[in-house]
Amino acid sequence: MAREESTGPARHLDRGEWLPRFAGRVLVVCPRCGGRADVVPRPGLPPLTYVSELLVRPRRLVCPGCGASAGWQADGRGGGLVAAQLGGTEDPFFRRPLWLQTRCASRVLWAYNEEHVEALAAYVAATLREGGTGRTRAMFPRLPRWMKESGHRAEVLAGLERLRALSARSAPADRSDAAHERGDRPRPYRARYYRDSPY
């Protein structure tokens, strides 16, 4: 017997995911050639205990196009490590413009990587959004209002489709016109991470 197609509203259940979950790999504009580079945790590190550890793990910036590379290490302060602060159109480690940016609804729509684009698209496309665990740091409740409004749904989904296509390209000529440095910095506070943190 064939399975019936669902005719109900597109649903999204917020499972309380944090933005750091999508910071494992960040696509950025290469500082040397202007093509796409990857910011990833340094290889050879032990497995993560908590997702928030991604904000203090040593990082490498590597460009497959021109071979540029750089390293990043979290600063230490008061017995802990100062975590990178996520948010904004620059990566929080090297302060490079994100590769995945596009103009949308008179603003800039951005994502860290393909998985982030897919998560945003699932949320924006939903006509019925259900709250989840109520975590105060959950990503979806913190999205800007314009991304959540039904009047912008088609435009935001079109923008996410442009980001999806951009994620498959890497040449300097493929760079979005929105991916230019504008001094758009993340929030100014710097959280400290302690190794026994429950998050």
Show me where the domains of the chain are located: 11-179
Q: What are phi and psi of 36, to 5 degrees?
A: -85, 130
Across 110-119, b (16+ Cβ under 10 Å) vs e yields bbbbbebbeb
Dihedral angle sign, alpha carbons of residues 37, 70, 86, 12: positive
pLDDT tens digits for range 90-126: 999 999 999 999 999 999 999 999 999 999 999 899 8
What residues are paired with 34 via a beta bridge? none
Evaluate if residue 9 carries a pLDDT over 90.
no
Q: What are phi and psi of 71, to 5 degrees?
A: -120, 155
Residue type, 76: G
Higher pLDDT, 140 or 31: 31
181, HSE (Cβ side, Cα atoms, 13 Å): 9
pLDDT tens digits for range 171-199: 999 999 888 755 444 444 444 444 444 43
Place of tokens 């923008």: 159
